[in-house]
């Protein structure tokens, strides 16, 4: 197995990629600055190399990619509202770091870079599901940074011949998603509130929808993108292809947990997209991707994990 750099490997999605790569016998290096990740997310894996530092520094990016065949660029500050309140910090983490990784990867002769893009790039499209050839309309600094990141990858592919693929994630959830910040993903926030007997907040009327995707599906899509032929420069949705509302999500979780807690409704969040649902035909065609874990099964696995964590 070749070598892989996972940037943001101590984060939620990064740590799942690292786990699977190590399971497959790959040589793995992680670079992380612990801005949103935790060393404990990798406590269960052995034999990886760890580099602590910020990729917003070019020399850190160069040390990180040195000798690596593949780069899975997951490092980011992934929150829409955090980018609305602090666009500069978010820009450094999401865009300066991406350019540094690309320059370093080009110079080091990396075989392929796979980038964590975001469905946030679409904004509010008039039709659903969202297809990669639809016009983009970023509604937040985060969405714009992720979109420009993708455009950088496509441009590096064209201009320098660097193999580079962007995967547009939709709302990813699963074990190790950190619920401790107001900027955390909504499923982690709802579960931790319900399990601890607190009332979760729903921003807006709760009828906004998302294509909630269990993390194992993302890991599969990203790893397929490292080897698929003819994908350099492409942007590819990886999700489930369905959507549910926040109100439906809340009720599903409440039923699973066996709680009768009511949510608190609050003002809609600035920069939020209303509806999100992926068209996954491009991933099916180019990557041979199919969702492996359903939303319901993913929710069950995630809940099991939080219950153990919260009890511990």
Contact between 210 and ligand UD1 by CB under 6 A: the answer reads: yes
Binder of ligand UD1 out of 74, 145, 208, 217 (CB under 6 A): 208
Distance in Å, CB of 198 to ligand UD1, minimum: 11
Burial class (CB in 10 A: 0-12, 13-18, 19+), 17: buried
Maximal C-alpha separation, the chain:
57
Whether 142 is a known active-site residue: answer yes
Q: Which part of the chain contacts ligand UD1 (CB under 6 A), choosing from 15-23, 123-131, 166-174, 280-288?
A: 166-174
- Selected binder of ligand UD1 within 17, 31, 80, 165 (CB under 6 A): 80
SS3 content of the chain, % helix, strand, coil (to 5): 45, 15, 40
Q: Is 245 exposed, middle or buried (0-12, 13-18, 19+ CB in 10 A)?
A: middle
Q: How many residues form the binding site for ligand UD1 (CB under 6 A)? A: 22
Looking only at residues 219 through 248 of this chain, which bind ligand UD1 when binding is defined by CB under 6 A? 246
Closer residue to ligand UD1, CB minimum distance, 63 or 251:
251
The distance of closest approach from Cβ of residue 84 to ligand UD1 in the complex, given in angstroms and rounded to an integer, is 10
Which 3 state secondary structure label does DSSP give 129?
coil
Q: Which region, judged by CB under 6 A, interacts with ligand UD1, from 39-47, 96-104, 115-123, 229-237? A: 115-123
Note whether 100 binds ligand UD1 by CB under 6 A. no
Tell the smallest beta-carbon distance from residue 203 to ligand UD1 (Å).
4
Q: Does 78 bind ligand UD1 (CB under 6 A)?
A: yes
The one catalytic residue among 122, 142, 214, 306:
142
Is residue 264 within 8 Å of 306, Cβ to Cβ? no
Q: Which 177-206 residues touch ligand UD1, going by CB under 6 A?
A: 184-186, 189, 201-203
- Of 51-59, 96-104, 151-159, 164-172: span binding ligand UD1 (CB under 6 A): 164-172
| 243-282 positions binding ligand UD1, by CB under 6 A | 246, 269, 272, 276
Tokens of 206: 């709760």
Buried b or exposed e, range 115-131, using 16+ CB within 10 angstroms: bbbbbbbbbebeeebbe
Could you tell me the two tokens for 157? 């592919």
Kindly write out the interface string for residues 43-72 of this chain, putting x where it contacts ligand UD1 by CB under 6 A and - elsewhere: ------------------------------
Q: Rounded to an integer, what distance in angstroms lies between the CA atom of residue 135 and that of residue 147? A: 11
Sign of CA dihedral 91, 70, 103, 30: positive
The H or E element containing residue 238 is: strand 235-238
Which neighbouring-strand residues pair with 5? 29, 71
Measured in whole angstroms, the distance separating CA 170 from the mean position of its chain's CA atoms is 8
CB of 98 to ligand UD1, least distance (A): 14
Binding site for ligand UD1 (CB under 6 A): 78-80, 118-120, 169-171, 184-186, 189, 201-203, 208, 210, 246, 269, 272, 276
Residues known to be catalytic: 142
């Amino acid at each position: 197995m070749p070598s892989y750099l996972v940037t943001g490997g101590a984060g939620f999605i990064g740590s799942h990629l690292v786990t699977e790569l190590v399971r497959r016998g790959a040589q793995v290096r992680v670079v992380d600055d612990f801005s949103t990740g935790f060393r404990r997310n990798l406590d269960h894996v052995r034999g990886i190399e760890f580099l602590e530092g910020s990729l917003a520094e070019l020399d850190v990016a160069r040390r990180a990619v040195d000798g690596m065949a593949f780069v899975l660029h997951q490092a980011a500050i992934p929150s829409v509202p955090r980018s609305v309140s602090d666009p500069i910090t978010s820009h450094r983490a999401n865009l300066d770091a991406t350019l540094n990784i690309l320059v370093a990867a080009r110079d080091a002769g990396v075989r392929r870079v796979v980038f964590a893009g975001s469905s946030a790039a679409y904004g509010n499209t008039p039709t659903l599901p969202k297809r990669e050839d639809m016009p983009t309309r970023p509604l937040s600094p985060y969405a714009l940074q992720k979109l420009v990141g993708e455009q950088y990858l496509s441009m590096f592919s064209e201009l320098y011949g660097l193999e580079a693929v962007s995967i547009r994630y939709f709302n990813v959830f699963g074990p190790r998603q950190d619920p401790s910040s107001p900027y955390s993903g909504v499923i982690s926030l709802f579960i931790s509130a319900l399990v601890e007997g607190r009332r979760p907040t729903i921003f807006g009327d709760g009828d906004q929808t998302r294509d909630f995707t269990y993390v194992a599906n993302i890991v599969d899509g990203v790893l397929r993108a490292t080897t698929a032929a003819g994908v350099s420069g492409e942007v590819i949705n990886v999700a489930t292809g369905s959507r549910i509302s926040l109100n439906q999500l809340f009720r599903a979780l409440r039923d699973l947990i066996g709680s009768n807690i009511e949510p608190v409704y609050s003002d809609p969040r600035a920069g939020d997209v209303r509806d999100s649902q992926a068209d996954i035909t491009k991933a099916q065609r180019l990557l041979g991707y199919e969702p492996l874990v359903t939303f319901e099964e993913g929710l069950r696995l995630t809940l099991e994990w939080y219950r153990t964590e919260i009890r511990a």
